[in-house]
């Protein structure tokens, strides 16, 4: 079965089940988009953020329902027996039963617009929780891309270490042959073996680092650590090799309207502003209307007074009532004024947090633009250096094979080439990542 067909069917199911079935295949390759899809589907932080959003939805719904009139129906039954005094003054054993049925309703006519302000504040808080889901997804996206590129870097590093190890092995074999015919000394062979041991250690370290980077990505995707997979190399054949056309200030201005962290801070400020109006509402009188309707039935066993029928009593005992209630806050421990002061402090804190978020974003973006320029310069310089060291090593190797340079010169040339290759690999992935960071702050989809 082709890999793309495997994923086309698996992506229709829950992402965890998608990857849980990996054990049935030898080595499945995943793209960076599939890694992102799995992480965004399975990550527990996103699930938690969505649950918070659902809670806020219910809170908003309840605050809207609180604006409607209340309506309640009540019923009560009581039964008593024992010796009781009758109207004639005598005591006798009696048994009494009564039933009360009623309904009441109440509606706020004026409450300082407290409920209206509560609804508006809850709406803002819901928007903040929705935006927080975006923020968690954004942060996770950047983490996944970082982990994915780290795997790619570690794979290239491992390949470089493997090539270096093979060269060292070939060199030992060549030195042994040349020692056998008397053209090289035992010291030359020992130095080659030492170089091989160093290469073996570098290869082992590179392999362990690669395995750890796979584990990090698995954890971000919420996959069991025993699931094996490979990552697919994105198409890096076309690289822009250019710093962004926008200045750091222009990127910052665009990001202010798009970046979830800033949107959340602004919404928290708006909610705090609404909180002041809500707290101020409790300084006003509260006016409410109420109405009630009820009836009752009473029955007494051994009573000298005849009991009316059940239907007659329900008809004759009807009671109705309406009421106008006014609650004027005069002194309640200054609770309302204290809450108003707290609401004003909360607003100052929210504004401060918003400013901190904007300042931090501005700082990060300026640093990201500077880092990208530096990464581009380093990428070009390390590429040129690696090309030069490859050529130099090729010449040195040719001269060494014919005995024109000694083992020390050959080893130095090989070391210089290896170091240049490692520097180039690091610079390449660093440059790719720094480019994607700019897209991240501009709110663009991060694609390869």
The CATH number for 305's domain is 2.20.200
Residue 73 is assigned to a structural domain of this protein: yes
**Claim to verify: residue 138 and residue 242 sit in the same structural domain:** yes
Residue holding tokens 């609404």?
274
Question: Which residues form the domain of 374?
Answer: 3-68+111-284+329-441
Work out the widest C-alpha separation in the chain, in whole angstroms. Answer: 142
Look at 410 and 383; give whichever has higher pLDDT.
Answer: 383
Residue 446 is assigned to a structural domain of this protein: no
- Between CA 375 and CA 382 the distance in angstroms is 10
Look at 411 and 421; give whichever has higher pLDDT.
Answer: 421
3-7, 123-127, 227-231 — which is least confidently predicted?
3-7
Phi, then psi, of 92 in degrees rounded to 5 = -150, 160
**Claim to verify: residue 44 and residue 120 sit in the same structural domain:** yes
Helix or strand or coil: residue 223?
coil
Q: Which of 371, 369, 378 is nearest to 420 (CA)?
A: 378
**Claim to verify: residue 236 and residue 182 sit in the same structural domain:** yes
Among the candidates 328, 362, 393, a domain finishes at 328
Residue 448 is assigned to a structural domain of this protein: no
Query: 433: pLDDT confidence band, cut at 50, 70 and 90?
Result: confident
CATH code (residue 433): 1.20.1600.10
Residue 101 is assigned to a structural domain of this protein: yes
Query: 304: pLDDT confidence band, cut at 50, 70 and 90?
Result: low
Backbone dihedral region of 185: left (phi > 0), alpha (psi from -120 to 50 degrees) or beta?
Answer: beta
Cα distances (Å, whole numbers) of residue 344 to 43, 320, 338, 347, 443 = 37, 45, 10, 5, 33
Residue 339 is assigned to a structural domain of this protein: yes
pTM across the whole model: 0.77
Among the candidates 328, 354, 381, a domain finishes at 328
- Between CA 206 and CA 199 the distance in angstroms is 10
Q: Which of 239, 261, 258, 250 is nearest to 369 (CA)?
A: 250
- Helix, strand, coil percent content, the chain, rounded in steps of 5: 65, 15, 20
Overall average pLDDT of the 194-217 stretch: 93
Tokens of residue 294, six digits: 């009820």
Residue 276 is assigned to a structural domain of this protein: yes
Cα distances (Å, whole numbers) of residue 12 to 6, 141, 165 = 11, 21, 44
Residue 82 has pLDDT above 50, yes or no: yes
Tokens of residue 10, six digits: 């698996």
Number of domains the chain is built from = 2
Phi, then psi, of 69 in degrees rounded to 5 = -65, 150
Residue 87 is assigned to a structural domain of this protein: yes
Query: 65: pLDDT confidence band, cut at 50, 70 and 90?
Result: very high
- Between CA 67 and CA 118 the distance in angstroms is 10
Query: 157: pLDDT confidence band, cut at 50, 70 and 90?
Result: confident
**Claim to verify: residue 77 and residue 163 sit in the same structural domain:** no
């Amino acid at each position: 079965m082709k890999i793309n067909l495997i994923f086309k069917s698996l992506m229709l199911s829950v992402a965890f089940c998608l990857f849980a079935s990996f054990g049935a295949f030898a080595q499945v390759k995943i793209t960076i988009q599939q890694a992102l899809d799995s992480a965004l589907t399975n990550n527990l932080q996103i699930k938690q953020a969505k649950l918070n959003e659902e809670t806020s939805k219910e809170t908003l719904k309840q605050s809207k329902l609180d604006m409607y009139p209340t309506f309640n129906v009540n019923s009560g039954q009581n039964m008593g027996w024992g010796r009781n005094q009758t109207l004639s003054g005598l005591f006798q054993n009696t048994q009494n039963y009564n039933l009360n049925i009623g309904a009441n309703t109440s509606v706020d006519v004026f409450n300082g617009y407290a409920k209206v302000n509560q609804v508006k504040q809850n709406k803002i808080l819901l928007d903040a929780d929705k935006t927080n889901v975006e923020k968690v997804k954004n942060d996770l996206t950047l983490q996944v891309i970082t982990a994915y590129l780290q795997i790619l870097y570690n794979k290239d590093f491992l390949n470089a270490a493997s090539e270096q190890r093979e060269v060292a092995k070939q060199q030992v074999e060549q030195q042994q042959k040349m020692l056998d015919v008397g053209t090289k000394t035992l010291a030359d062979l020992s130095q080659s073996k030492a170089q091989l041991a160093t290469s073996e250690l570098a290869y082992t370290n590179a392999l362990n680092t690669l395995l750890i980077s796979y584990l990090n990505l698995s954890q971000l995707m919420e996959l069991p650590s025993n699931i094996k997979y490979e990552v697919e190399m994105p198409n890096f054949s076309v690289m822009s090799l250019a710093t962004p056309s926008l200045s750091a200030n222009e990127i910052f201005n665009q990001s202010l309207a798009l970046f979830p962290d800033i949107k959340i801070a602004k919404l928290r400020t708006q909610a705090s502003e609404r909180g002041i109006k809500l707290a101020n509402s409790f300084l006003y009188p509260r006016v409410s209307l109420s109405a009630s309707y009820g009836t009752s039935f009473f029955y007494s066993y051994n009573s000298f007074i005849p009991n009316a029928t059940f239907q007659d009593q329900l008809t004759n005992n009807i009671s109705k009532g309406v009421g106008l209630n006014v609650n004027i806050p005069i002194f309640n421990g200054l609770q309302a004024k204290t809450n108003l002061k707290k609401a004003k402090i909360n607003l100052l804190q929210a504004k401060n947090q918003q400013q901190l978020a904007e300042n931090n974003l501005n700082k990060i973006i300026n640093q990201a633009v500077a880092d990208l320029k530096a990464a581009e310069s380093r990428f070009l310089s390390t590429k040129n250096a690696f090309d030069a060291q490859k050529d130099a090593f090729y010449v040195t190797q040719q001269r060494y094979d014919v005995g024109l340079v000694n083992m020390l010169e050959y080893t130095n040339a090989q070391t210089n080439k290896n170091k240049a290759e490692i520097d180039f690999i690091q610079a390449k992935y660093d440059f790719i990542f720094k480019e994607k960071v700019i897209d991240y702050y501009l709110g663009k989809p991060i694609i390869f």
